[in-house]
Amino acid sequence: MARKEETPARQRIVEAAGQMLRSRGYAEASLRDIVEAADAPWGSLQHYFPGGKQQLAIEAMELGRDEVSASIDSAFERTRSAEAAMGWFFDASCQVLEETDYEFGCPVATVALERGALTEEVAGAAAGALEEWVDHFAAGFRGDGIGARPARRLATGVLNQYEGALLMARSTQSLDSMRTAKSLVRGMIDAAR
């Protein structure tokens, strides 16, 4: 990780916002706490994010969206099969949960669950991120020989399993749900072939 002096204030603010959204959600992530966590001057918030919390949340979710998309792609690039890719993806997620003491959930779902408190733009960014992840999973499954339609259904099912397991893991402070989801996904892949 780059030292504070090496990381521009704007980037530190977006990263801090992403971490707070993952752990606290949109309503509980205060701008003051974000700026403090980023070790940035308060005035930089208005300078870089004239759209306020909404703009910052969208940019933080876009960063999280891109990180998860890269993780999905990496899972398929590192392995030889869809089953192994999903094993790697779920294992990597379990590692993040353990390393953050179950504090960090999905960079988008935590916000998406607050639908009533969100602006249309923030809700749209959350929905777009989830759809992008389905696209990345589906592309990986197609690359392993699964037809386009079954790959899309499988991708949606995998994301459903993952998000539900992540929610349960954070709630129970246990990886049991993630391990169960990983096992169920293997069966889903077999059924899609």
Separation between Cα atoms, residue 150 and residue 82, nearest integer Å: 13
Query: pLDDT for 86-110, tens place per residue?
Result: 999 999 999 999 999 999 888 898 8
The first and second tokens of residue 166, run together, are 């992540």
Q: Can you give the pTM of this predicted structure?
A: 0.89
All domains of the chain, ordered by start, with CATH? 4-192 (1.10.357.10)
Q: Are 193 and 176 in contact (CB under 8 A)?
A: no
pLDDT of residue 1: 47
Q: Are 136 and 156 in contact (CB under 8 A)?
A: no
Q: Are 100 and 110 in contact (CB under 8 A)?
A: no
Residue 7 has pLDDT above 90, yes or no: no
CA distances from 46 to 30, 50, 146, 179 (A): 14, 5, 48, 43
pLDDT of residue 117: 67
pLDDT of residue 111: 85
Separation between Cα atoms, residue 171 and residue 165, nearest integer Å: 10
pLDDT of residue 107: 82
Query: pLDDT for 134-166, tens place per residue?
Result: 999 999 999 999 999 999 999 999 999 999 999
Query: pLDDT for 159-187, tens place per residue?
Result: 999 999 999 999 999 999 999 999 999 99
Task: Give the whole-number percent of the chain exceeding pLDDT 70.
Answer: 96
The first and second tokens of residue 53, run together, are 């919390």
**pLDDT higher at 119 or 30:** 30
pLDDT of residue 4: 55
**pLDDT higher at 7 or 95:** 95
Residue 2 has pLDDT above 70, yes or no: no
Q: Are 73 and 136 in contact (CB under 8 A)?
A: yes
Average pLDDT, the chain: 92
pLDDT of residue 5: 59
Separation between Cα atoms, residue 175 and residue 145, nearest integer Å: 30
